[in-house]
Amino acid sequence: MPLDPSFVGRTYPPTAPYLVGREKIREFASAIGATDAAHHDPAAAQALGHPDVVAPPTFPVIVTMAASRQIIEDPALGVDYSRLVHGDQRFAYTRPVVAGDELVCTNTIEDVSTRGGHGFLTTRTDVSTVGGEPVVAVWARYVIRGEA
């Protein structure tokens, strides 16, 4: 089923806040082998001017991938999850994510198209604090493989 192009420009209601934990940042940093002290030690992060440990650049995907299910599982859009492939990923940071952030995601569908039997879906997730401070904008492009 081709994706419905009328969804382009649609913005979804903000997601429930995600509280970024210090141990979660440490766990994520350890899993990718990131040993810089600022990911693990609050004092090292404070020396760089941050209130608590700093997340590695791709950490926000934990928050945005969960949030983007709002789009991918929207029955009206009709994405077949079993045929979904992650195509592109991009982050534009206002500042790094730090432990203690309470993050809210606002999802927008930026583009929907169908080419060569495959569906393409571009989402933008604006991640901000519960107080409204912008933190990072995250784009993902998904390919929904056609039935060959």
Partner 1 sequence: MELPAQTFQVTRADLIRYAGASGDFNPIHWSDRVATKVGLPGVIAHGMFTMALVGRAVTEWAGSPDAVVEYGVRFTRPVVVPDDDQGTEIEVTARVREVTEDGLTRLEVTATCLGEKVLSQARATIRTAR
* Pick 73 or 86: Cβ nearer partner 1: 86
Query: 27 φ, ψ to 5°?
Result: -65, -45
Token pair belonging to 101: 């952030």
Question: What is the smallest separation between the CB atom of 92 and partner 1, expressed in angstroms?
Answer: 5
* Pick 4 or 118: Cβ nearer partner 1: 118
Helix (H) or strand (E) holding 21: none
Question: What is the smallest separation between the CB atom of 133 and partner 1, expressed in angstroms?
Answer: 16
* Pick 31 or 76: Cβ nearer partner 1: 31
Separation of alpha carbons 58 and 35, rounded Å: 15
Query: Token match 């926000």: residue?
Result: 60
DSSP state of 38: G
Residue ranges binding partner 1 (CB under 8 A): 24, 27-28, 30-34, 36, 38-39, 48, 50, 54, 56-58, 61-62, 65-66, 85-93, 95-96, 139
